[in-house]
């Protein structure tokens, strides 16, 4: 769980110390597929500008580069798991971690921005970390694999004595499994 609440704040460009901290937790600039951004720091500032402003990518000011470059970099870092690593650092920060505390809002908002395209396992990780600001919806609307496993074990036991089960038991299990899978319309379509 998140050690302290994340306080929202307006966008500001990264400081040298903040950039160095984030850059250590991102993939190397060379050696990957595709062309890397020319200026990684500017790309990060663009990502955080959009994340903090909540506006569309097309509203990104020109000084931060092309919107599609920043959006692509954010999706790549989410797919590679590096954005999850940053979110984990944010979740485990303490009040003494001044740099992570300063970055927490921007990282959480960037993760939320890309939450529509991440895998369900990454979404469950964010939910378990307890960084509410990064979640695309209230946790009750997100998948719950622990509940799913518990219900599945109950269904298996009920099938062993299916003829003894009262009417409607399996329909109830089906509804519970639907709840455990999350309410897709609340978090994927926003």
Closest among 89, 143, 90, 134 to 111, alpha carbons compared = 134
Cβ 159 vs Cβ 174: under 8 Å: no
Q: What are phi and psi of 162, to 5 degrees?
A: -60, -35
Pair of tokens at residue 173: 């299990």
Number of other residues whose CB lies within 10 A of the CB of residue 22: 22
End-to-end C-alpha distance for the chain, whole angstroms: 25
Q: What is the pLDDT of residues 110-157, one digit of tens each?
A: 998 888 788 878 888 888 888 888 888 777 777 777 777 777 788 888
pTM reported for the whole predicted model = 0.77
What confidence score (pLDDT) does residue 2 get?
Answer: 46
Q: What is the pLDDT of residues 87-109, one digit of tens each?
A: 999 998 877 788 898 899 999 99
Lowest-pLDDT range, 11-15, 27-31, 50-54, 133-137?
27-31
């Amino acid at each position: 769980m998140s050690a302290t609440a994340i306080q929202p704040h307006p966008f500001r460009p990264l400081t040298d110390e903040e950039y160095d901290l984030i850059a250590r937790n991102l993939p190397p600039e060379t050696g990957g597929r595709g062309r890397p951004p020319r200026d990684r720091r500017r790309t990060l500032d663009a990502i955080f500008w959009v994340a903090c402003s909540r506006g569309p990518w097309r509203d990104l000011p020109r000084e931060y580069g092309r919107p599609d470059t920043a959006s692509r970099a954010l999706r790549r870092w989410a797919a590679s798991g590096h954005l999850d690593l940053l979110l984990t650092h944010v979740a485990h920060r303490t009040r003494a971690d001044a740099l992570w505390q300063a970055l927490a809002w921007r990282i959480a908002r960037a993760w939320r921005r890309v939450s529509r395209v991440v895998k369900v396992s990454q979404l469950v990780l964010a939910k378990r970390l307890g960084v509410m600001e990064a979640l695309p919806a209230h946790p009750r609307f997100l998948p719950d694999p622990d509940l799913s496993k518990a219900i599945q074990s109950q269904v298996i036991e009920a099938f062993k004595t299916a003829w003894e089960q009262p009417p409607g038991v399996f329909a109830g299990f089906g509804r519970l499994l639907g709840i455990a899978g999350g309410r897709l319309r609340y978090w994927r379509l926003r």
